[in-house]
Amino acid sequence: MKAASIEASIQTVIVGNEAEIRALVVAFLSGLHVLVEDIPGVGKTTLAQAFARSTGLDFGRIQFTPDLLPGDITGMNVWSPETREFSFRAGSVMHEFILADEINRASARTQSALLEAMQEGAVTVDGVTRHLPDPFFVMATQNPVQFAGTFQLPEGQLDRFGIGLHPGYPSIDEECSILHRFRHADPLRAIEPVMDGGELREIRRIVREIRMDRRVETYIARIAARTRESESLRLGLSPRGSMHIMRAAQGYAYMDGRDYVIPEDVQTALPFVVPHKLVRAEQARLSGLTAADLVRALTEEIPVPSRLAD
């Protein structure tokens, strides 16, 4: 199975974080973009590079900095003195796999250059819309917003990321394994591609056809509604977020070899799909409750559908 091969390739470089790696592969196969947030040095970029090498897609890396301009990403029309006319110069987003590294080091104006690309798979420059490659996948990394030189990602940008990951520090044993793996060579160089764009398009088609019982759809809708009603949240889950839960649940079903979604797929997806999309109310923030804490508490109140075979 191609998905298992991708996981295995990443795990030759990344130690631990099995659930995060599985969520990353699920996002990739489901057509969801990924945001990885954590402190510098815990392997965010290494994870992205290992993943990109294993997929075999056309890869482009964009290093976000304060002086990066929207046209650097989307492309721009450039005047040619020889031809005495403007010609389009493609931007750095014109790849199948985009690593947006340290995305929150750029201004909101530059960050917004990815909005149309992530939602519609296209960029519009001077009124002309150009479609991006298919498949198209964005994996972005960001540092915590309290760090120097960072800008807050706007809610609309966060909502376009289907999966949010927080790798965290490794354990002592895991860190020893990291030191051992990188002692003599870089294991990244040994990774070989295990699929191509055509195979990914076919897998994404299969994932979208995975069956979902109406009661599971209602379960997702109730979770979304509960986040919108909660006094602990200033901004709940959008309908787009509900669709991301559905796609991720289909992805988990595919990874488990099923052609139908079960409630456990939804529950597995929730910690990765929902928290980064929510905005806590001031009281919840002052109480030290994280968005992940609130998601767990809210979903415990919602009945889980059962006997789906009836």
Q: What digits encode the pLDDT tens for the residues 230-247?
A: 899 999 999 999 999 999
pTM (2 d.p.): 0.89
Cα(214)–Cα(211) distance, rounded to whole angstroms?
10
Mean pLDDT of the chain: 88
Predicted confidence (pLDDT) at residue 5 exceeds the cutoff of 60: yes
pLDDT one-digit tens code per residue, 160-218: 999 999 888 888 998 998 888 888 878 888 888 888 888 899 999 999 999 999 999 99
The domain made up of 1-182+195-208 is a member of CATH 3.40.50.720: no
**CATH 1.10.8.80 placement within the chain:** 210-310
Which range, of 100-109, 136-145, 260-269, 300-309, averages the lowest pLDDT? 300-309
Tell me what the mean pLDDT of segment 97-106 comes to.
90
CATH 3.40.50.300 segments of the chain? 1-182+195-208
Q: What is the pLDDT of residue 310?
A: 44
Cα distances (Å, whole numbers) of residue 210 to 203, 256, 293: 11, 12, 30
Question: Hey, CA dihedral for 104, 99, 141, 26, is it positive or negative?
Answer: positive
Yes or no: is domain 210-310 CATH 3.40.50.1860? no
Model pLDDT for residues 102-155, shown as the tens digit of each residue: 888 888 888 888 888 888 889 888 888 989 998 999 999 888 777 767 888 888
